[in-house]
Amino acid sequence: MKKIIWIFTLSILLAGCNQEYEFSTEFTTPTALNSPDSVTIDVASQNNIVLSWTGGGAVVGDVIYQVLFDKVGGDFSNPVYTTLSDLGAEPQLTITHALLNTIARKAGLAPASTGNIIWTVSASKGGEVKLANLSKEISVTRGGGIDYTGDTLYLFGTATENNGAGLEMRKAADGIFIIYTKADVNGNIFFKSSKTDLDAFTCYADANGKIMEGTGTYDITANAEGEIYRITVDMNTQKIAIDKISDIRAIWGATYNVIGNLIYQGNGILKADNCEVKFIMTSRPETDPPSWLSWTEERYYFIANVNGTDKCWGRRDGVSAERPTGSETMAFYELEEFSWNQWEHLWKMSGSLDLKKCTITIDTNKSGLMVHEFSNIQPI
């Protein structure tokens, strides 16, 4: 009996295998596009914009949709922006005001202006792509502010220290970018979000120091001897700040004596070579120990002259200094700027540096941080 049941089951399976199945790649494109006729952009708005379409689709299964945006008069052969629909297969696209603002900028619409963009949809299945033979136009009104929310900004211009090839700025916070640099000649500067992208976000500062989107330049004079510029671009306030930085030195907190004077090397790096490190103690009169000192003193920080005033470049968290063990992250050595107070924002030096000479380096943009380090350590 079991044998009969097994033979009957096998015959059903074999019969099923003889049935033919076909994978259909047949599909058509949408026949109607739907979107608002006009949008007034508010980049902070939480109300998203929905573009949708009807008609078309696959005979069997789903198709993948892409939405293409272009300038009025364009044929979508070189769209200004392309993205998949919601979940890739939904017949709609949900976008934010901020993204539509970016698309409008890529389409050539200036801030505080009104213009039109067009959009359409392509469908694909089985490697075949079809573009809908219709498009929809949207009137877009842009605000006057800066909509850039990217993570990169580069300094360009005739006054840059690498002949205008683009210098990477450090992102200090959302919308805030900083660079320490020299200007070799009198000239101009401006900013772009990329060194290579032809459609990169571009901005400049006007004569009043206001950041403006678009093409323009800001005049700057060559640095004085021993002076560098700190250029800060704040997209949030739309302001540029240019500070003159000089006389950067590492000093002992207890005596103010200089450990090393740091000289600008280019590319945002300052360095002091052959710095002699001797911890301060009463048994070493050459270290100028204060009369009140009864312990070994190894605390230090940096002082920099900023626009004519000495500022502390010190430990960012402001807590009591601890001697490093060697397992600290790079952030332990990060510098921030404060008003100078003798016993705040200090570090303790590693015990391995005592009675050594070394190189002290400040890198103003190392992995997105402004940090210092000790290297080339040798006996005195």
CATH code for position 60 = 2.60.40.10
Share of the chain above pLDDT 70, in %: 93
Question: Is there a single domain that holds both residue 195 and residue 289?
Answer: no
Helix (H, G, I), strand (E, B) or coil at 203: strand
289-339 per-position pLDDT tens digit? 999 999 999 999 999 999 999 999 999 877 777 889 888 899 999 999 999
The pLDDT value recorded for residue 5 is 42
Is 60 inside any structural domain?
yes
User: Please, which pLDDT band fits residue 21 given cuts at 50, 70 and 90?
Assistant: very low
Upper half-sphere CA count for residue 109 (Cβ side, 13 Å): 28
Is 7 inside any structural domain?
no
Instruction: Kindly provide the b/e burial profile for residues 162-199, where b requires at least 16 CB atoms within 10 angstroms of the residue's own CB.
Output: eebebbbbbbbeebbbbbbbbbeeebbbbbbbeeeeee
Question: Is there a single domain that holds both residue 327 and residue 357?
Answer: yes
Question: Is there a single domain that holds both residue 180 and residue 197?
Answer: yes
User: Please, which pLDDT band fits residue 363 given cuts at 50, 70 and 90?
Assistant: very high
Angstrom distance (rounded) from CA 288 to CA 296:
12
Question: Is there a single domain that holds both residue 331 and residue 364?
Answer: yes
Identify the domain boundary among 237, 262, 292. Answer: 237
The pLDDT value recorded for residue 305 is 97
Question: Is there a single domain that holds both residue 268 and residue 202?
Answer: no
Dihedral pair phi/psi, residue 5, rounded to 5°: -65, -40
Is 337 inside any structural domain?
yes
Six-digit token string for 270: 């300052």
Select from 349, 333, 378 the least CA-distant residue to 280: 349
pTM of the predicted protein model: 0.73
Q: What is the mean pLDDT of the chain?
A: 90
Question: Is there a single domain that holds both residue 255 and residue 367?
Answer: yes
The answer, yes or no, to whether residue 43 has pLDDT greater than 90, is: no
49-64 per-position pLDDT tens digit? 999 999 988 888 889 9
Domain that holds residue 114: 27-141
Domain count, the chain: 3
CB atoms within 10 A of CB 341: 12
Pairing between β-strand 202-205 and β-strand 187-192 as defined by DSSP bridges? antiparallel
Considering only residues 19 and 99, tell me which one the structure prediction assigns the higher pLDDT: 99
Question: Is there a single domain that holds both residue 232 and residue 249?
Answer: no
The pLDDT value recorded for residue 323 is 85
Considering only residues 322 and 77, tell me which one the structure prediction assigns the higher pLDDT: 77
Is 197 inside any structural domain?
yes
Question: Is there a single domain that holds both residue 64 and residue 132?
Answer: yes
Is 8 inside any structural domain?
no
135-184 per-position pLDDT tens digit? 999 999 998 778 788 899 999 999 999 999 999 999 998 889 999 999 98
Question: Is there a single domain that holds both residue 189 and residue 285?
Answer: no
Is 14 inside any structural domain?
no
With beta carbons less than 8 A apart as the criterion, state whether 26 and 58 touch: yes
Considering only residues 117 and 11, tell me which one the structure prediction assigns the higher pLDDT: 117
Question: Is there a single domain that holds both residue 181 and residue 98?
Answer: no
Identify the domain boundary among 119, 141, 163. Answer: 141
The answer, yes or no, to whether residue 355 has pLDDT greater than 60, is: yes
Upper half-sphere CA count for residue 298 (Cβ side, 13 Å): 17
The pLDDT value recorded for residue 283 is 96
Question: Is there a single domain that holds both residue 47 and residue 167?
Answer: no
Identify the domain boundary among 175, 210, 237. Answer: 237
The pLDDT value recorded for residue 24 is 60
With beta carbons less than 8 A apart as the criterion, state whether 304 and 310 touch: yes
The answer, yes or no, to whether residue 18 has pLDDT greater than 70, is: no
The answer, yes or no, to whether residue 134 has pLDDT greater than 80, is: yes
The answer, yes or no, to whether residue 20 has pLDDT greater than 70, is: no
Is 1 inside any structural domain?
no
Is 6 inside any structural domain?
no
Question: Is there a single domain that holds both residue 251 and residue 375?
Answer: yes
208-248 per-position pLDDT tens digit? 999 999 999 999 999 998 899 999 999 888 899 999 999 99
Pairing between β-strand 92-95 and β-strand 128-131 as defined by DSSP bridges? unpaired
With beta carbons less than 8 A apart as the criterion, state whether 372 and 302 touch: yes
